[in-house]
Structure 1
């Protein structure tokens, strides 16, 4: 086995000389992969370069196995999470009510269609208030929930919170007034706050930074799919006369809540916290999973470290976390606004069409958005680049909202809806992938991802108040706000990429050996992204 050279150029040459089927270290002591994957040993040199190479075919087989055992179960849980959350988030105009006078949103929203507002006596902006109660708890518990996910272990914590929001969803079927609806929605926010960041954190335990964005997209695409699947499921449920002692829209919450609880119970037995506890991995595969992760985390001697306060703050206060969180906040104003109010936009474009046709016309932009969600994240995986796609998302969104404001042409406005949908959804997985790629420890990733999602959901909260019936039928305020935030998103994203490259050049001039001299291993690991050998990964 070739020795690992001290120079970067020599290191590349040594790797090139390694046989293509090699799975092993390149260091001078020729230590085994199991040794490098074990506790107390690093898998990089002081400059963050990997000490081993892996046969691409072996790595591909491992990746397919990880995909099979980790992605489907969390995707299914997230699908029902979003269905449960969105069941009151859509209404549709009645046949005798002008479409532009109705406040409604787009997801599944089937309970609202079936009489939720009327039965509870909601008037004026009461429905906005009910939605807002969800976002308050959803935001407040974001970071604590993800820290708990690390502490308890995602294999237990994620099924538990999914079981909890399934139970709370059942409670939605028994509310009688606005106060009860607000209380139940607040509790739903507590349980669901850990789902999105928890799953992102969970998958980051298994995948390399280049691979993560695409895997995140595979479960986050469940959000747009929830609209279509939830509507079909609710339509079938509403064909029943009653379910036990509940009728009408209440059946939707009760039955879907029961299904969610059942899936969560099964997930308790399927999900596993880490490679160490994965019975479906061989010992060699466990070593390879750990070594792959450690090879991208400079100075890391253990993949799953204990919760450590300095590392928690490294994740929260990382400049990449704060900047990407601000970008995700801006993006979520657009994403959630589009998700909630796309039928409203379609209704203003085609005011004379039937309700059924308006609902059909609202579907294609979301489907296109789902396609680009997967496609862009696939390219991010293959190119190992994320920030550049964030920058490229903004121009299409800016163009789309400019058309809405400046044109009355229905065809042009409908095309603008496609431009916006195709360029917004993929920032969700990309933002969490950027955070994961730019902190080192497992602890920092748990807090960093939680911080990002928390900041993003402030955007969701704002979006619920951007589209009001007083601004109908043109909704210039809503379009104007989204145009402004898209411009700011472009500036922040471009500035982030510029800063990362500039700071990496400064780090190239530093000497890790000199700066780390005399420091203990604990002190070195606590540096996280402040380690002199660390480089930002755009």
Structure 2
């Protein structure tokens, strides 16, 4: 690799000629826009629908609780929280392994098949009659859902350039708040039915939503491709352009965007060792660890919001009917979706992510201050609209860890670790609102206020560190000759490479 004054972290990719001079590949903007539109039409709707049903099948427990499930299963004390926690046990344990399976199997097979799995688990929930049975089914639901968020993020990163990725991630993660809105509407509609077969009440919610999930997943088996080079809906010229765009952006790595097939020589054992080193680069990246902890803090709020919003609405409007309470949960989710897409669009246009952690988190912080400072139902319901801004950090954090590594293996590791942190936060969130803290839930609101403050402090500190470390790398690069490094060392260094620059 030739020495240069330009870092491979810069937004304009650089390739070295044989004589050591630089070649900056130029792509026709019209062709790039046409390719991007085609990818948007073929990729985003498919993964968005999958994630929509993933989040519906996860969060419908909150809708079922206020629709009779709590009474029918004779839940007492903290048993609802225990059921919630059992989901995260499977989720956290399998987070990293299933992403490795996703990479090995290929996202085009893995994502639909795991969706079929959690759809079946949702249907099974309709037949539970005890709390232990509900815990077992929720554990299996967590196992099958563990690979969805990191798997889809990894899948899209195989197609989109760094600056484009955040907005595309938002277009599927936005289905999380939309799932809350749609789930509330769907639950309200289902509860108006007298029965589905021999199922009645809350059991119909799980059965019908699970059946819909399986049907959608089966269809997506025929729509997905593992990468640009296998996409049937791209022409030969478009495939070449799609692969080339990613290759030149990640030019410091000899690994292709489609996998490790381009790694030279050394046999299978050396290839595995090299992939293991690259995987660990993604795990131990300072940005991965910092942003992952930020996502953990955010997920405490996201998951608590998803699982407890119907319960909170019931405490605010106790005299409303169950269907009305379900419908009250819809508007805050719509506002959360709008904030998420807006922040992600700004991130795409500026090719920045870290700075957008602050606006949405500030709105969440204000929302919890309103919860803690007032018992007026109108004020507290208004606070839910601000708290819904917590969803914005999902695409921003996943895009940030993906943007701050190079190789395909390192990127899959960084995304999976980021999501694992988030689901540890989800486990904490499942215990942030407990029954004996009702109706004002001061403990839960205080915990989430604290996580918002933590995000603001840590995201600011990380941004300042990235800028300081880039300056230090500028000074060090002037003193270091890249030719002193072995070729294997250059390939495996990833973000440790002297030319690397963090992208805030």
Residue 342 of structure 1: SS of its match in structure 2?
A: helix
Residues 229/483 of structure 1: CA separation in 2 closer, same or farther (3 Å cut): closer
Task: Provide the residue aligned with 2:347 in structure 1.
Answer: 380
Q: Write out aligned runs for 1:123-202 (5 A).
A: 123-202=76-155
Which of residues 408, 424, 427 is equivalent to 1:458? Answer: 424
1:313 equivalent to 2:266? Answer no
Task: Provide the residue aligned with 1:98 in structure 2.
Answer: none
Residues 77/221 of structure 1: CA separation in 2 closer, same or farther (3 Å cut): same
Q: Hey, what's the Cα distance between the residues in 2 that align with 1:345 and 1:257?
A: 25
Is contact 2:182-2:330 (8 Å) kept? Answer: no
Task: Provide the residue aligned with 1:500 in structure 2.
Answer: 466
More divergent stretch after superposition (409-418 vs 126-135): 409-418
Task: Provide the residue aligned with 1:35 in structure 2.
Answer: none
Residue 329 of structure 2: SS of its match in structure 1?
A: helix
Which of residues 222, 227, 239 is equivalent to 1:274? Answer: 227
Task: Provide the residue aligned with 1:329 in structure 2.
Answer: 296
Residue 440 of structure 2: SS of its match in structure 1?
A: coil
Task: Provide the residue aligned with 1:367 in structure 2.
Answer: 334
Residues 82/295 of structure 1: CA separation in 2 closer, same or farther (3 Å cut): same
Residues 180/304 of structure 1: CA separation in 2 closer, same or farther (3 Å cut): same
Q: Structure 2: where are the runs of 5+ without partners?
A: 261-271
Which of residues 33, 54, 67 is equivalent to 1:81? Answer: 54
Q: Hey, what's the Cα distance between the residues in 1 that align with 2:253 and 2:230?
A: 20
Aligned residues: 486
Is contact 1:512-1:533 (8 Å) kept? Answer: no
Q: Hey, what's the Cα distance between the residues in 2 that align with 1:357 and 1:216?
A: 32
Is contact 1:512-1:532 (8 Å) kept? Answer: no
Which of residues 143, 147, 163 is equivalent to 1:210? Answer: 163
1:251 equivalent to 2:204? Answer yes
Which of residues 385, 390, 395 is equivalent to 2:357? Answer: 390
Q: Hey, what's the Cα distance between the residues in 2 that align with 1:170 and 1:280?
A: 34
More divergent stretch after superposition (298-307 vs 132-141): 298-307
Residues 294/354 of structure 1: CA separation in 2 closer, same or farther (3 Å cut): same
Encode CA deviations 1:247-269: one digit per residue, 9 max, x unaligned. 44333323322222222122111
Task: Provide the residue aligned with 1:100 in structure 2.
Answer: none
Give 1 or 2: higher helix fraction: 2
The CA deviation at 1:404 is: 2.4
Measured on the aligned residues, the alpha-carbon RMSD in Å equals 2.8
The CA deviation at 1:361 is: 4.0
Q: Hey, what's the Cα distance between the residues in 2 that align with 1:475 and 1:401?
A: 11
Residues 7/486 of structure 1: CA separation in 2 closer, same or farther (3 Å cut): closer
The CA deviation at 1:58 is: 1.6
Is contact 1:138-1:190 (8 Å) kept? Answer: yes
Which of residues 437, 448, 453 is equivalent to 2:403? Answer: 437
1:406 equivalent to 2:360? Answer no
TM-score w.r.t. the length of structure 1 is 0.84
Residue 171 of structure 1: SS of its match in structure 2?
A: helix
Q: Hey, what's the Cα distance between the residues in 1 that align with 2:461 and 2:427?
A: 26
Is contact 1:515-1:532 (8 Å) kept? Answer: no
Residues 411/129 of structure 1: CA separation in 2 closer, same or farther (3 Å cut): closer
Q: Hey, what's the Cα distance between the residues in 2 that align with 1:166 and 1:248?
A: 19
Which of residues 36, 46, 49 is equivalent to 1:63? Answer: 36
The CA deviation at 1:359 is: 4.3
Encode CA deviations 1:40-66: one digit per residue, 9 max, x unaligned. xxxxx99xx873122222211110011
Encode CA deviations 1:474-507: one digit per residue, 9 max, x unaligned. 2221121111111111110000100000111111
Is contact 1:299-1:525 (8 Å) kept? Answer: yes
Residues 470/240 of structure 1: CA separation in 2 closer, same or farther (3 Å cut): closer
Encode CA deviations 1:484-536: one digit per residue, 9 max, x unaligned. 11111111000010000011111112338954325444332211111111111
Which of residues 215, 224, 237 is equivalent to 2:177? Answer: 224
Q: Hey, what's the Cα distance between the residues in 1 that align with 2:100 and 2:23?
A: 29
Is contact 1:171-1:254 (8 Å) kept? Answer: yes
1:304 equivalent to 2:271? Answer no
Residues 447/27 of structure 1: CA separation in 2 closer, same or farther (3 Å cut): closer
TM-score w.r.t. the length of structure 2 is 0.89
Encode CA deviations 1:96-135: one digit per residue, 9 max, x unaligned. xxxxxxxxxxxxx2x3344323333322221211111001
The CA deviation at 1:408 is: 4.1
Is contact 1:25-1:53 (8 Å) kept? Answer: no
Q: Structure 1: where are the runs of 5+ without partners?
A: 16-23, 31-44, 91-108
Encode CA deviations 1:166-214: one digit per residue, 9 max, x unaligned. 1222222222222221111111110000011110111111111111111
Is contact 1:298-1:534 (8 Å) kept? Answer: no
Encode CA deviations 1:400-459: one digit per residue, 9 max, x unaligned. 22232234455444443333223x111011000000000111111111111111111111
Q: Hey, what's the Cα distance between the residues in 2 that align with 1:368 and 1:198?
A: 26
